[in-house]
């Protein structure tokens, strides 16, 4: 074993290490536990001061009440989030796979510069261009539209997807594709049936990063969507937290937060291998 | 909806698809580059229309008095001269810098501590890594709504904990004080992003060859000396990268303050992006908002350039 690890072991006794790690685990998971506990408390218990640590009995009342906050149709807003996220994820994956292949394998005059330019948009934060983007959306009649929002999300996620997919295709041996072409597939057929399965890890990483970025996105959704019934979930929560008749229903708010967070956690637990490797490859480029 | 653009690319690509029939290589290769162009163009089109044009437009709009409705009027550099004397923007910038300066060391130190902690070839270490990283997948907005409740006066569980420990009394309101509100936001952001810093630093630690550390151990360096003189210098490129991430993220902060403090108490927690949002979308002064965006971009570019220099100086070790 390496010396450094040996040292750490010698200086931090095993038991102390476990105690520290478990204490930190409790701290990291505590907010998530509190959110779930609050979401499933009954209305009376949810308003108790001081708050109870364990719910006395579980209830779905907060979720039901969430459906009627300020005349909102929150479950319609959940669907909005689902559609925008799905559309943006599929769109980003398809466009970056096509373009990634082109930049790696079917270069054209200027492709190097265009790839560099596409990646350079990484350097400019979209927060800084939101004002003119709002104007562009207005001109194209895409403002206050979920389709428009999905297109904007695809654009924001493309540089990263392009980077991952170009590298995935570039790492493949040329012989693989040639063999498929000799076998009589067209180029698109070769991509679909031979190359795509091999670059699948890149596709999954791109899809995951787009999923998380889109499902959780707040700033652009807040600005580009103005109708309540077109809001995505995170923006909808601002209405829940601004309260009805001056009082905020904290139980319902946590029910809404749970609806936003739980899908992310499930996807993370199932696919964390790809997510973590994607984060690393993106950051350490 | 999203099938529109790729569909166009596929159709454009199909006529040139079968390369097996082209006997001359020249034609095959020019077909191939045509196909490449067709495959790349939907992505490039979106990036141009929804990103590059807005970037150019930012500069153009910043030279105008540009209301939401009605005609824009060219006013030259007036927006910029106004911005320089704008107390609201200046205090927003100042607050953003304070926030960045406070949260960055917190994230770096805690991230490094976690990375050193979970760097153990023990079965549990991987589990703890995934737990500490888990909040990274949660959105900043939903995390903010969660912590808004946690820290809420009386009803919030974290507030209750602090009250039990005696840090706050039951009538106080953490969101009513500028520094306690900032403290809560920093706690939330740390919880949410420190796992990413941990992960990056962990991969940096793992790239340090064991022989180097081993050699210094044989030379008689103590644990602390080794950390200070071997590990830390070799980790500098990764530390610089983590620094870039955390500084850029903090300079662009919006969600957490919009949701948790609403810019309050008395406008003391308004960040630069928040102020741009208020100018552009509450005041509908799009031209002035664009000018502030340009200034923010310049500040970001300057900060990034300084950090790039830092990265470059440490790259060849």
Domains annotated for chain A, with CATH where assigned, are 69-283 (1.10.3720.10)
- What contacts B123, CB < 8 A, 6 or more positions away? none
- For residues B16 and B126, membership in a common domain is answered with no
Mean pLDDT for each 10-residue chunk of chain B (317 residues)? 35 41 62 89 95 94 90 92 94 96 96 92 87 95 96 92 90 88 96 95 89 82 84 87 89 96 91 96 93 94 81 55
**Identity of the residue in A150, A158, A254 whose CB atom sits nearest the CB atom of B149:** A254
* CA–CA gap between residue B261 and residue A239 (Å, rounded): 15
**Identity of the residue in A215, A219, A283 whose CB atom sits nearest the CB atom of B254:** A219
- For residues B262 and B304, membership in a common domain is answered with yes
Cβ within 8 Å, pair B2-A154 = yes
Decide if B74 is inside a domain. Answer: no
Cβ within 8 Å, pair B300-A125 = yes
* CA–CA gap between residue A208 and residue A271 (Å, rounded): 8
* CA–CA gap between residue B15 and residue B25 (Å, rounded): 17
Residue A64: band (very low, low, confident or very high) from pLDDT cuts 50, 70, 90: confident
Task: Work out the angle between the directed axes of helices A250-283 and B123-133 (0-180°, nearest 10).
Answer: 120
- What contacts B223, CB < 8 A, 6 or more positions away? A7, A11
Predicted pLDDT of residue B260 = 95
- For residues B278 and B189, membership in a common domain is answered with yes
Nearest residue of B to residue A183, measured between CA atoms: B20
**Identity of the residue in B36, B120, B143 whose CB atom sits nearest the CB atom of A8:** B120
Q: B132 near B198, Cβ under 8 Å?
A: yes
- B123 to chain A, closest Cα gap in Å: 11
Contacts of B281 in chain A (CB under 8 A): 134, 223
* CA–CA gap between residue B191 and residue A25 (Å, rounded): 11
- B50 to chain A, closest Cα gap in Å: 7
**Domains in chain B: how many in total?**
2
- For residues B87 and B45, membership in a common domain is answered with no
Nearest residue of A to residue B170, measured between CA atoms: A50
Cβ within 8 Å, pair A283-B130 = no
Q: What is the pLDDT of residues A111-134, one digit of tens each?
A: 999 999 888 887 888 888 999 999
The more confidently predicted of residues A7 and B301 is B301
Contacts of A241 in chain B (CB under 8 A): 145, 148, 259
- B253 to chain A, closest Cα gap in Å: 10
| Mean pLDDT across A70-83 | 87
* CA–CA gap between residue A256 and residue A233 (Å, rounded): 8
- For residues B21 and B167, membership in a common domain is answered with no
Contacts of B226 in chain A (CB under 8 A): 4, 7
Predicted pLDDT of residue B314 = 52
Pairs from B249-253 (Cβ < 8 Å, separation ≥ 24): B249/B193, B250/B96, B250/B99, B250/B100, B250/B103, B250/B104, B251/B96, B251/B100, B251/B296, B251/B299, B251/B300, B251/B303, B252/A125, B252/A127, B252/B300, B253/B96, B253/B99
Token output for A72: 């909102």
Residue A2: band (very low, low, confident or very high) from pLDDT cuts 50, 70, 90: very low
- For residues B29 and B90, membership in a common domain is answered with no
In this prediction the pTM is 0.89
Decide if B60 is inside a domain. Answer: no
* CA–CA gap between residue A201 and residue A212 (Å, rounded): 17
* Strand, helix or coil for residue A247: strand
Q: Is the dihedral of CA A241, A244, A249, A253 positive or negative?
A: negative
- B153 to chain A, closest Cα gap in Å: 10
- For residues B32 and B158, membership in a common domain is answered with no
| Mean pLDDT across A163-182 | 85
The more confidently predicted of residues A54 and B316 is A54
Predicted pLDDT of residue B298 = 93
Q: B247 near B302, Cβ under 8 Å?
A: no
- For residues B41 and B94, membership in a common domain is answered with no
Residue A12: band (very low, low, confident or very high) from pLDDT cuts 50, 70, 90: low
Token output for B291: 């000018």
Residue A145: band (very low, low, confident or very high) from pLDDT cuts 50, 70, 90: very high
Location of structure tokens 């919030």: B156
- For residues B133 and B44, membership in a common domain is answered with no
Q: Is the dihedral of CA B157, B158, B159, B165 positive or negative?
A: positive
- For residues B12 and B87, membership in a common domain is answered with no
φ, ψ at B59 (rounded to 5°):
-65, -45
Q: Is the dihedral of CA B144, B146, B150, B156 positive or negative?
A: positive
* CA–CA gap between residue B72 and residue B97 (Å, rounded): 33
Decide if B68 is inside a domain. Answer: no
- For residues B131 and B13, membership in a common domain is answered with no
- A186 pLDDT above the threshold of 80: no
Contacts of A212 in chain B (CB under 8 A): 137, 139
Q: Where are the alpha helices (DSSP H) in B219-285?
A: 223-226, 232-234, 236-251, 255-260, 272-277
Decide if B66 is inside a domain. Answer: no
- Interface size A-B, in CB pairs within 8 Å, comes to 323
- For residues B114 and B41, membership in a common domain is answered with no
- B258 to chain A, closest Cα gap in Å: 10
Cβ within 8 Å, pair A132-B53 = yes
* CA–CA gap between residue A258 and residue A155 (Å, rounded): 28
Cβ within 8 Å, pair A53-B157 = yes
Predicted pLDDT of residue B19 = 46
φ, ψ at B195 (rounded to 5°):
-60, -35
* CA–CA gap between residue B176 and residue B172 (Å, rounded): 8
Decide if B271 is inside a domain. Answer: yes
Q: B141 near B231, Cβ under 8 Å?
A: no
Decide if B250 is inside a domain. Answer: yes
* CA–CA gap between residue A270 and residue B267 (Å, rounded): 42
Domain of residue B32 covers 4-49
Token output for B204: 């940096």
Q: What is the pLDDT of residues B235-286, one digit of tens each?
A: 888 888 888 889 999 999 999 999 999 998 989 999 999 999 999 999 999 9
Decide if B158 is inside a domain. Answer: yes
Number of residues written out for chain B: 317
Contacts of A267 in chain B (CB under 8 A): 137
- B222 to chain A, closest Cα gap in Å: 10
Decide if B71 is inside a domain. Answer: no
DSSP-assigned letters across all residues of A40-79: TS-HHHHT-SSPPSS-SS---HHHHHHTTGGG--HHHHHH
Q: How many CB atoms lie within 10 A of CB B315?
A: 10
Token output for A109: 């005059």
Cβ within 8 Å, pair A261-B296 = no
Q: Which of A4, A10, A150 to mutate to test the interface with B (most CBs of B within 10 A)?
A: A4
Q: What is the pLDDT of residues A236-245, one digit of tens each?
A: 999 888 876 6
Predicted pLDDT of residue B26 = 66
Burial of B198 (0-12, 13-18, 19+ CB in 10 A): buried
* CA–CA gap between residue B304 and residue B300 (Å, rounded): 6
């Amino acid at each position: 074993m390496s010396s450094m690890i040996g040292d750490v072991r010698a200086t931090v006794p095993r038991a102390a290490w476990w105690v520290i790690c478990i204490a930190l685990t409790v701290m990291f998971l505590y907010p998530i536990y509190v959110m779930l506990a609050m979401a499933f408390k009954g209305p009376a218990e949810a308003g108790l001061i001081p708050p109870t640590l364990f719910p006395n009995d579980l209830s779905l009342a907060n979720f039901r009440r969430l459906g009627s906050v300020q005349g909102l149709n929150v479950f319609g807003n959940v669907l909005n989030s689902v559609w925008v996220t799905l559309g943006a994820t599929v769109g980003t994956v398809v466009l970056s796979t096509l373009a990634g292949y082109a930049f790696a394998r079917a270069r054209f005059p200027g492709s190097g510069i265009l790839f560099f330019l596409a990646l350079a948009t990484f350097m400019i934060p979209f927060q800084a261009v939101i004002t003119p983007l709002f104007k562009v959306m207005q001109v194209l009649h895409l403002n206050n539209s979920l389709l428009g929002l999905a297109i904007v999300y695809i654009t924001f996620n493309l540089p990263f997807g392009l980077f991952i997919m170009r590298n995935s295709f570039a790492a493949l041996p040329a012989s693989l594709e040639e063999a498929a072409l000799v076998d009589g597939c067209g180029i698109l057929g070769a991509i679909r049936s031979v190359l795509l399965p091999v670059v699948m890890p890149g596709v999954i990483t791109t899809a995951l990063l787009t999923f998380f970025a889109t499902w959780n996105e707040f700033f652009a959704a807040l600005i580009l969507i103005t109708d309540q019934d077109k809001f995505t979930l995170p923006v909808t929560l601002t209405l829940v937290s601004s309260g009805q008749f001056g009082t905020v229903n904290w139980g319902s708010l946590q029910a809404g937060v749970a609806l936003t967070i739980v899908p992310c956690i499930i996807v993370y637990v199932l696919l964390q291998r790809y997510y973590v490797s994607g984060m690393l490859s993106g950051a350490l480029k | 909806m999203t099938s529109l653009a790729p569909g166009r690319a596929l159709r454009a690509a199909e006529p040139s698809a079968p390369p097996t029939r082209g006997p001359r290589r020249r034609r095959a290769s020019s077909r191939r580059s045509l196909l490449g162009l067709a495959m790349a163009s939907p992505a490039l089109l979106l990036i141009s229309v929804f990103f590059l044009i807005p970037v150019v437009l930012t500069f153009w709009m910043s030279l105008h008095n540009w209301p939401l409705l009605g005609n824009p009027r060219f006013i030259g550099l007036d927006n910029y001269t106004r911005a320089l004397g704008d107390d609201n923007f200046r205090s927003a910038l100042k607050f953003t810098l304070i926030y960045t300066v406070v949260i960055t060391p917190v994230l770096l130190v805690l991230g490094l501590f976690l990375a050193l902690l979970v760097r153990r070839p023990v079965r549990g270490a991987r589990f703890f890594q995934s737990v500490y990283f888990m909040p990274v997948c949660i959105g900043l907005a939903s995390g903010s709504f969660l912590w808004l409740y946690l820290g809420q006066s009386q009803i919030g569980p974290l507030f209750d904990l602090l009250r039990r420990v005696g840090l706050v009394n039951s009538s106080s309101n953490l969101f009513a004080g500028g520094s306690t509100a900032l403290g809560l936001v920093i706690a939330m952001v740390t919880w949410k992003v420190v796992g990413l810093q941990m992960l990056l630093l962990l991969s940096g630690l793992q790239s340090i060859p064991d022989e180097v550390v081993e050699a210094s151990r044989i030379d008689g360096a103590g644990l602390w000396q080794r950390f200070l003189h071997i590990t830390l210098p070799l980790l500098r490129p990764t530390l610089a990268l983590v620094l870039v991430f955390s500084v850029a993220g903090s300079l662009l902060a919006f969600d957490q303050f919009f949701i948790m403090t609403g810019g309050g108490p008395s406008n003391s927690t308004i960040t630069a992006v928040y102020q741009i949002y208020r100018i552009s979308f509450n005041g509908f002064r799009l031209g002035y908002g664009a000018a502030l965006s340009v200034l923010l971009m310049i500040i970001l570019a300057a900060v990034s350039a300084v950090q790039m220099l830092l990265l470059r100086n440490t790259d060849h070790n």
